[in-house]
Chain A
Amino acid sequence: MATKVSITGAENIEIGEKIITEMGFKVVTPEDSNARSTDVSKIFWFKGRIIPQIGGTEGEPVSKLHQWSMVKTGAGVYRAVTAEYQADSNTVRRYNFPKAYVLDYDETFSDLEGTGTFHMEICEKKDENTKVMVEGGFAAE
């Protein structure tokens, strides 16, 4: 186990440590509330590189994220996302979004860099918000 993002559902996608450069988690509620709002958006995002899989048989995995972002209807829209950030043999964070949809996707290729970069934001379906899990601070398995 290492730093990774796993997506399961209509198609299983696994994005590993060599690809991911940054990840993060956001909880957004209305800014003008007088008490804790129940209108809460839970968002997970990650950024990474699009690199050639030399000698690999799996193909380039980030293309599957791009394809997911174009699924607007049907069974493939919502997928389960688990992400883990590890450092010094510790699981610093583990996120679990059981019913997530794509909020934002972009990727860039430039002849100055040679590799592509991507950024993806996913959001838990709001009526199943209570199922999002955030854990961390334990030894890596």
Chain B
Amino acid sequence: MYDLKAEGAFAFALSEETVERFESKIDIPKNTDGRAVDTAATMTVTGKIRSAGDGGVADSTIQAAQWANNMDDSKAYQNTTATATAAGQVLRRTILPNAFVVGYSESFNVASGVGSFELKVRQKKDLLEGYQIEGGFGL
């Protein structure tokens, strides 16, 4: 099970019912002779968007959409944590303390009533040392 949390002006907590997949990608320039310091840490999260009707579980994906839509620089960065757990253990916890939105898309199939989203965030590059990777401990 996977969950995604963001703390800041557009705080949200997306639970296992919402998050389907997340991918952490470390981008390093390929055309170098030695290890480049120019490293980017990017996370892509995809999941479902549900309505809160009929007493169902509400989700806060609207906050993610508003974070992407925000143009105010003072609200652009959020502390973002993605966690993958299995068998009562945290397999991986990835923390981007100063993440900004690189891209966001969401879509709704009106006929079948299904919504989905994709959020792509990156740690602010001058604060890259804040990026944290943990894993292999009990909940």
Contacts and interface: CB of A to CB of B under 8 A. Distances in A.
Interface stretch (B14-22, B86-94, B105-113): B105-113
A24 B107 contact: yes
Contacts of B122: 33
Interface of B: 40, 49, 51-54, 56, 58, 60, 62, 65-66, 68-69, 71, 73, 76-77, 100-111, 113, 115, 122, 124-126
Contacts of A25: 65, 104-107
B104 A136 contact: no
Interface in A30-78: 31, 33-36, 38, 40, 42
Given A34-B126, A88-B52, A130-B71, 6 more contacts: A24-B106, A27-B68, A27-B103, A31-B103, A134-B62, A134-B69
A31 B102 CA distance: 6
Nearest to A23: B108
A36 B110 contact: no
19 contacts: A20-B110, A24-B105, A24-B107, A24-B108, A27-B101, A27-B105, A29-B101, A29-B103, A33-B122, A34-B40, A35-B124, A36-B73, A36-B76, A38-B71, A40-B71, A87-B115, A90-B51, A130-B71, A137-B52
A3 to B, nearest CB: 5
Nearest to A86: B51
Contact of A22 (B101, B103, B109, B126): B109
Interface of A: 3, 17, 20-29, 31, 33-36, 38, 40, 42, 85, 87-90, 92-93, 129-130, 132-137
Given A3-B110, A22-B108, A24-B107, A36 B100 contact: yes
| Pairs A-B, 5 closest by C-beta atoms | A88-B53, A24-B107, A34-B125, A36-B100, A36-B76
A141 B113 CA distance: 19
Contact of B113 (A20, A31, A33, A87): A87
Given A129-B71, A136-B62, A89 B53 contact: yes
Most buried by A among B51, B109, B122, B124: B51
A135 B62 contact: yes
Contacts of B124: 34-36
Contacts of B60: 137
